[in-house]
Structure 1
Amino acid sequence: MPLVIVGIGIIALLILIMGFKLNTFVSLIIVSFCVALLLGIPVGDIVKTIETGLGGTLGHLALIFGLGAMLGKLIADAGGAQRIAMTLVNKFGEKNIQWAVVVASFIIGVALFFEVGLVLLIPIVFAISRELKVSILHLGIPMTAALSVTHGFLPPHPGPTVIAGELGANIGEVLLYGFIIAIPTVILAGPVFAKIAKKIVPESFTKTGSIASLGEQKTFKLEETPSFGISVFTALLPVILMSIATIISLLQKTMGVADNHLLAAIRFIGDAGTSMLISLLVAVYTMGLARKIPIKDVMESCSTAISHIGMMLLIIGGGGAFKQVLIDGGVGDYVAAMFKGTTLSPILLAWIIAAILRISLGSATVAALTTTGLVMPMLGQTDVNLALVVLATGAGSLIASHVNDAGFWMFKEYFGLSMKETFATWTLLETLISVFGLGFILLLSLFV
């Protein structure tokens, strides 16, 4: 019965969002109340459950998400992202242009959220395709593959950050293992898939696309932008700090070194919140003050970044509320009891549940959050690596983007594709990322 109620809730969510065009956050809260009543949560406890889910999720995420948005905005507004992209294009040359786009998108994708990275990179991709007379999709597929993989697997992006917080996984480990999985996944789903897609839907590679909807883009002369080294260092600084702390912690465990003040300080600096704050302060200098940009303008960029993520934060909070309702309503325990004694790996189970929810709901973040509520009670029964469960949930939540996902429509409109062509390129691309990601996670689970 609990799973039937969850199914009714998901269908209701789809009807509210797609049928009645209701705001996603409002829809999530309405469904959370209704599902809580159906699951038999006492009326007096329902509001408390929703507040706990919303507050608990945002409490962990808001700091990292907010600082990350500011960091990305500073790099974009200073021209750092444009410098990274154009320098790599010039270094790789015309013959290896796809690889230049992949590397640039990966670096920028670590620092910027998916939608921001897409809006920032698409005009650059259009300009390169015009100059070199190559198909925009030839460059667009590798670009979106890199952005999507970083979005699904690497903190400080909302999905992996939220799931890690909910499951109590070490965020540094998620980042380290995420990189190991992300690199081969990007190669296969990017440049390799682009060649296959050209054979599946050759006509889509003749489309010219349109970015008129993006409005006027801020462009820079290359000499006006920060240097390549400084731009890359600023974009990747949170990753560097978190990775160093994780590697040192892993070495400490392996070698049995006693804890001391130095190791505690390294862990503190490598904490996601601390490393994001340090990186933002560095960006204020490297992307602002060092380039003689007044502090008022730098802070204006930060304020704009926060205003743009307000609704996304609420939607993530709404997903957290729905997840808490499933936990307090006993759905997670019911799923755990169903699979008690099963030989199915929690990694595979997390991926399957996230994939089903992603196809149903469209939102990768909501699918991932709901999955954590269902698989959390199971994890106490196994010694599975929590970082890998986080990554498997992230991989499942990327699968088969279609008409209920905003990314589907963005890709379709920017690249000027038909529905059939969008399914054969974008939807297939997201599915490949999800499946390859799972494959590499299962492979990694044999060693860690």
Structure 2
Amino acid sequence: MTRLSVEMLAADAPPPITSAGHAQLGIAVLVGIAVIVLLITKFKLHAFLALTVGSLALGATAGAPLDKTITSFTTGLGSTVAGVGVLIALGAILGKLLADSGGADQIVDTILARAGGRAMPWAMVLIASVVGLPLFFEIGIVLLIPVVLMVAKRGNYSLMRIGIPALAGLSVMHGLIPPHPGPLVAIDAVKANLGVTLALGIVVAIPTVIIAGPLFSRVAARWVDVQAPDRMLPQRPSEELENRPGFGATLATVLLPVVLMLAKALVDIVVDDPADHTQRVFDVVGSPLIALLAAVIVGFFTLGRPAGFGKDRLQQTVEKGLMPIAGILLIVGAGGGFKQTLIDSGVGQMILDISRNWSIPALLLAWLIAVVIRLATGSATVATVSAAGLAAPLAAGMSTTHTALLVLAIGAGSLFFSHVNDAGFWLVKEYFGLDVGQTVKTWSAMETILSVVAGGLVLLLSLII
């Protein structure tokens, strides 16, 4: 970042709500994060409330007036929900439609019918990556773990040999690939191009998931050699397998928003003329809102109709898809409020001032910030949202591709070493019937590999493009 770009950023930024120095601001950040961690881990408080209280504690420690702290928090919450709320809702509807219609089962069964032996871990990566595109991580686990357990039991595989690739596929999608909430919020915070971020995210995700999935699963299976627990094996009724949508139609529906957004990015690169009619059309159809909305509407016909869904059943599916995301929206919004409080308190500018004299690359600094917040809070989404707010000043003067790489660096850092303060840690532990030590050796190690490999690839790409 040039000195000129830093001075321009300082001139454009609104004055901070506190006059605290760097030391006090640093303490305020630690206090805010510590409050969030304690409330989530020790007192089991909902993350929305913890983030709200943590934001107030941050402002108070930084010496900001309470009314200005509240304004910063509510402004950040509102702008974050406005930016990604509709996209989260559309993704939830598509995911629910995919599950209820049997489309997800159709993808799974079709791929598994063509895979076996050594190819099975690779098939699980493919399944998880495809199904994980429109689904939240927790929903993807609930949807895929029964399949993982059945495959491991039926084929007499080590559970880790099958489970780790599936978890890696879901996790890398959650951390790096929009339209998942974390990447979307980071894209909005640093003003990155969504299509370019999506394209580069896929480039980073493929080798990352191969290393952390099928390759690491060999090591994990030696460290923790367990079989699928009988108590968790699902008993799916036979009628769920009838009247399902076709594999091709289901796959096309799932990939439609990705194709539209990638097409927009390609047209932007090739045409590069805002007045061109073709570019204007793709700017509309390739926007996340239109791309996901199109997938949902198309899904009514390609998924709902073959499954025999009438108007009433489709309405029920939409309603059931929307109900579980209330908590997610509030957590994401509160994370945006915490991020805005950090920015308005001057923490972002403090990091910029301090890092200006460092020799550490901006992308590595963004990755490290996300790692620290991930370790502290246990939430990849909170880590992404908060780190995006802190690292946003680093995007000043960056090219379009490097701004996209900044988003991916943050996303990679947000996956680092899931442990006992992460809900996903306990979800994996219970589903796989592991103890805490076994979960650390497998799940936590896999998340760390994802984070380090993805972060390294981002830095490598920054030297090439």
Matched residue, 1:209: 229
| 1:347 aligns with one of 346, 360, 363 | 363
Q: Pick from 229, 233, 236: which aligns with 2:248?
A: 229
Per the alignment, residue 445 of structure 1 pairs with: 462
Conserved? CA contact 1:358–1:367, under 8 Å: yes
1:139 aligned counterpart, secondary structure:
helix
Cα distance, 1:218–1:232 mapped onto 2, change above 3 Å: farther
Q: Which residue of 2 aligns with 1:390?
A: 407
Give 1:311's aligned residue. 327
Q: Among the aligned pairs, what percent are the same residue? A: 39
- Which of the numbers 73, 90, 111 marks the counterpart of 1:50? 73
SS of alignment partner, residue 21 of structure 1: coil
Matched, 1:436 2:453: yes
Measured in 1, the distance between the counterparts of 2:214 and 2:361 equals 31
Aligned to 1:278: 294
User: Matches of residues 97-176 of structure 1 in structure 2 within 5 Å?
Assistant: 97-176=120-199
Aligned position for 1:263 = 279
> How much has 1:218 moved relative to structure 2?
6.4
Cα deviation code 1:26-57 (max 9, x no counterpart): 11111111211222323332221111110011
* In 1, Cα distance between equivalents of 2:237 and 2:410: 36
1:409 corresponds, among 421, 426, 443, to: 426
For residues 262-300 of structure 1, the C-alpha deviation after alignment (integer angstroms, 9 at most, x for no partner) is 210111100011101111100011111344311111121
- Any idea what the Cα deviations from partners look like across 1:103-131, whole Å, max 9, x if unmatched? 11110011211111111111111112222
TM-score normalised according to structure 1 size: 0.95
Within 5 A, what are the aligned runs for 1:163-202?
163-199=186-222, 201=223
- Residue 441 of structure 2 is matched in structure 1 by 424
Counterpart Cα distance in 2 of 1:400 and 1:238: 30
Letter in 1 for 2:367: W
Residues in 2 aligned to 1:386 and 1:119: alpha-carbon distance in whole angstroms: 34
Could you say if the C-alpha distance between residues 220 and 139 of structure 1 is closer, same or farther in structure 2, counting changes exceeding 3 Å? farther
Deviation (angstroms), 1:217: 5.1
| Distance across 2 between alignment mates of 1:235 and 1:219 | 24
Cα distance between partner residues in 2 of 1:183 and 1:249 = 24
Q: Report if aligned partners of 2:153, 2:227 keep a CA contact under 8 Å in 1.
A: no
* TM, length-normalised to structure 2: 0.91
Moved more, 174-183 or 37-46: 37-46
2:226 alignment partner AA: T
How far off is 1:260 after superposition? Answer: 1.5
**Runs of 5+ in structure 2 lacking a partner?**
1-23
Change (3 A) 1:174 1:218: farther
Q: Does 35-44 or 299-308 show the bigger shift?
A: 35-44
**Alpha carbons of structure 1 residues 299 and 219: separation in structure 2 relative to 1, 3 Å:** farther
Which range is displaced more, 122-131 or 396-405?
122-131
- Alignment-mate amino acid for residue 245 of structure 1: K
Counterparts in 2 of 1:239 and 1:323: CA distance versus 1, 3 Å: same
| Residue of structure 2 equivalent to 1:360 | 376
Q: Quick one: distance in 2 between partners of 1:405 and 1:29?
A: 19
d(CA) in 2 for partners of 1:3, 1:219: 58
Deviation at 1:398, TM superposition (A): 0.4
Aligned-residue CA RMSD (Å): 1.7
1:109–1:251 distance in 2 versus 1, CA, 3 Å: same
Which residue is equivalent to 1:68? 91
Give yes or no for contact 1:155–1:161 (8 Å, CA) kept in 2. Answer: yes
What's the CA shift string for 1:394-444, capped at 9, x where partnerless?
Answer: 000000000000111111111111211111100000000000101111122
Distance 2:381 2:244 in 1: 34
Supply the distance in 1 between the matched residues of 2:343 and 2:48 (Cα, whole angstroms).
19
Q: 1:382 Cα deviation (Å)?
A: 4.6
Structure 1 equivalent of residue 14 of structure 2 = none
Deviations 1:49-95 (Å, cap 9, x if unpaired)?
A: 11111001111111111001101110111111111111111112344
Whole-Å Cα distance in 1 between the matches of residues 164 and 287 of structure 2?
A: 33
Q: Is the 8 A contact 2:112 2:120 kept in 1?
A: yes
Q: d(CA) in 2 for partners of 1:229 and 1:166?
A: 36
How many angstroms does 1:160 deviate by? 0.5
Q: 1:170 to 1:211 in 2, by over 3 A?
A: farther
In 1: Cα distance, 2:355 partner to 2:319 partner: 47
Judged with a 3 Å threshold, the aligned counterparts in structure 2 of structure 1 residues 211 and 307 are, in CA distance, closer, same or farther, namely farther
Residues in 1 aligned to 2:152 and 2:221: alpha-carbon distance in whole angstroms:
16
- Matched position secondary structure for 2:417: coil
Stretch moving more, 222-231 or 232-241: 222-231
CA gap 1:218/1:443 in 2 versus in 1, 3 angstroms: farther
Counterparts of 2:382 and 2:68 in 1: how far apart (Å)?
23
Q: Using the alignment, how far apart are the partners of 1:89 and 1:442 within structure 2?
A: 35
Q: Return closer, same or farther for 1:249/1:93 CA change in 2, 3 Å cut-off.
A: same
How far apart in 1 are the matches of 2:255 and 2:237? Answer: 23
Q: Which amino acid aligns with 1:286?
A: T
Indicate how the Cα distance of structure 1 residues 95 and 373 shifts in structure 2: closer, same or farther if over 3 A, else same: closer
Paired letter, 1:252:
V
Q: Which amino acid aligns with 1:205?
A: D
CA–CA distance in 2 between the matches of 1:425 and 1:259? 52
Say if 2:30 is the partner of 1:7.
Answer: yes
Give a deviation string over 1:166-186, Cα, whole Å, max 9, x none: 111111111111111111111
- The question of whether the paired residues in 1 share the 8 Å contact of 2:160 and 2:220 is answered with no
